[in-house]
Structure 1
Amino acid sequence: MAGKRFAAIDIGTNTILLLIAELKENRTFEVLEDRAEITRLGKGVDRTRRISAPAAERTLKVLRAYRERCAELAVDEIVAVGTSALRDARNATAFQARLKRELDLELQVLSGEEEARYSYLAVERGLDLKGEEVLVVDVGGGSTEFIWGNDGRLCRWASLDLGSVRLTERFLATDPARQDERDRLMTAIDRELDSLIVEWAVKPCFSAMVGIAGTFTTLAAVERGLVRYSHSEVHGSPLSRAEVRRQIRLYQAMPIAERRKISGLEPQRADVILAGAILIERIMAFFGLDEARVSDQGIRYGLLYERL
């Protein structure tokens, strides 16, 4: 395994992520590349159940660049996985075939359970959570994975159709979003969270919450006013419910064009950040949690840790 170079590509509803790492003999690794590009592959999928031609083209363009970067760094193994949008789209198989034909890229569409397991593995290895009853929340563009862990053991999981892109498309039609739209959004989120407890048959009392993926890392970056994203400043950082509420007030008071000027907020995420922030606030309220720790190591790191 010494010196083997591994790449993980996570094709999400909103963002495409690439991680390239060199695996070491002592079960450690060196990150050579870690990047993300927003292509909005899942745009409209909630309504049409199809990946649109423009979204496919945007995604192919990014994946072609990722494939070229893997070649430049002499990567030995590439694993590409897809999540919510590809689970929902009726033409996902055709998209997979195109990736294989044009890029020689085998794409595995993860189930909600597989997505939850890789997310939990990333958190369990990437943060010190020993002895804690922890809720891991992976907010994507199309779905959110809820993982209940205890001292390194995955107890239960669930995948709900609550994602920043899906919720924005369903509920926030005006710009800025009206109060009645936001109220309907919150009601829908709370109803889905109630269904989670029915599925789990118990409402746990968590001692900690960890948030994964772009909505959490964006809220952390905005809190710090980061002009350039910094892993060291975001990964493992605290995010309070009060800060999430502050940012909700900020986003709902301005149109999307103004949000794009906020330091720490990627311009391509400006239209979906309000729904994502409201979702996180409702989750924290539902479980009575005043703070979360932010992780920027999601599925791609779970795929990496699996190989160590």
Structure 2
Amino acid sequence: MRLGVLDVGSNTVHLLVVDAHPGARPLPAHSHKAELRLAELLDMDGAIGPDGVDRLIGVVHDALQAAEDKGVEDLLTFATSAVREASNADDVLARVQAETGIELQVLTGAEEARLTFLAARRWFGWSAGKLLVLDIGGGSLEIAYGIDEEPDAAASLPLGAGRLTAGWLPVDPPAPEAIRALRRHVRAEIARTVGEFSRFGSPDHVVATSKTFKQLARIAGAARSAEGLYVQRELKRESLEAWVPRLAGMSAEQRSGLPGVSEGRSGQLLAGALVAEGAMDLFGVKNLEVCPWALREGVILRRLDHMGSP
């Protein structure tokens, strides 16, 4: 059957259409996305303003039309950090439902981490052993660890690249003291969670998902996306540590000229790099592998599992 998953994320509203059946891997058929950067649209009270809600509704309408055009039979919809933590979340959800007919399921941070972990586990298989999975979104950082399909530990921290850029690095290029302050904040937040994971022992394989990690791996020398899903892409901590000061000295426009860095994400890349560097350092990770599957695929896989249940 043809499934669609509509992901209202903190950076992007993304419709992914796949041909999927229980027991088979989902095959991508169509992708429709729009960058809203909701994490950067929150006002001083933490609310998504009327203009942001209007834009969200318009993008959802466009995605629904794309889903209809592509013959989607079952549409799964969810929202993540930006909507979840908005002070007017209930009003936003009510307006979206009233004007589009779509009832967005708001995932908790722990659910995000667990579903992303499921996707990574299915991608790498049981032979990967104990997995540590890191995912940097626009609004939050998800961390999950385990040996099965359900992680033994999962956490969500308010360390998304968009959120941190808007709150800590509003000037382009950012001042050195602002970067140092953000670095201290990021590492303090991550350090609070390390003990929760370290008690399970060292992972056998460390995996990262998300656009931020893909872009960081690309500028550090990983293969281009055009070379396909099945090419192994890694990010070494020493390479990342060498790139962070270089990124700090660039404007967003200069970063957009780097390999694999889009103009829409270039402003967030430094904050994302500080989170990635902090996580790899504090968890003792020297090298990680980028996984092409993430939250959307996890939502699809969970749906297929339920379809296949008696």
Return closer, same or farther for 1:65/1:44 CA change in 2, 3 Å cut-off.
Answer: closer
Which residue identity does 2:31 align to in structure 1? D
- Alignment map for 1:1-308 (pairs within 5 Å): 4-24=1-21, 27-45=24-42, 47-128=44-125, 130-199=127-196, 202=199, 204-224=201-221, 229-230=225-226, 232=228, 236-308=232-304
TM-score, length-scaled by structure 1: 0.90
For residue 24 of structure 1, give the secondary structure of its aligned residue in structure 2: coil
In 2: Cα distance, 1:177 partner to 1:198 partner? 32
Return closer, same or farther for 1:93/1:14 CA change in 2, 3 Å cut-off.
Answer: same
Return closer, same or farther for 1:201/1:212 CA change in 2, 3 Å cut-off.
Answer: closer
CA deviations over 1:245-290 (Å, ceiling 9, x no partner): 2332332121122222223111011111100011101111111111
List runs of 5+ in structure 2 lacking aligned partners: 305-310
In 2: Cα distance, 1:52 partner to 1:224 partner? 40
Conserved? CA contact 1:221–1:234, under 8 Å: no
Return closer, same or farther for 1:66/1:247 CA change in 2, 3 Å cut-off.
Answer: farther
Deviation, structure 1 residue 304: 0.9
Q: CA RMSD, aligned part only?
A: 2.4
In 2: Cα distance, 1:274 partner to 1:206 partner? 27
For residue 37 of structure 1, give the secondary structure of its aligned residue in structure 2: strand
Identity across the alignment (%): 28
Conserved? CA contact 1:41–1:56, under 8 Å: no
In 2: Cα distance, 1:202 partner to 1:172 partner? 34
Return closer, same or farther for 1:203/1:125 CA change in 2, 3 Å cut-off.
Answer: closer
Paired residues in the alignment total 304
Conserved? CA contact 1:205–1:287, under 8 Å: no
Which residue identity does 2:255 align to in structure 1? R
Conserved? CA contact 1:20–1:31, under 8 Å: yes
Conserved? CA contact 1:45–1:89, under 8 Å: yes
Conserved? CA contact 2:135–2:209, under 8 Å: yes
Conserved? CA contact 1:136–1:210, under 8 Å: yes
Conserved? CA contact 2:222–2:233, under 8 Å: no
CA deviations over 1:19-73 (Å, ceiling 9, x no partner): 1112236534321113443211121438431012333233333322211111011
Deviation, structure 1 residue 151: 4.6
Return closer, same or farther for 1:86/1:204 CA change in 2, 3 Å cut-off.
Answer: farther
For residue 58 of structure 2, give the secondary structure of its aligned residue in structure 1: helix
For residue 81 of structure 1, give the secondary structure of its aligned residue in structure 2: strand
Deviation, structure 1 residue 218: 1.7
Conserved? CA contact 2:153–2:196, under 8 Å: no
CA deviations over 1:127-173 (Å, ceiling 9, x no partner): 23525222101111111111011254411111111111121122223
In 1: Cα distance, 2:97 partner to 2:231 partner? 34
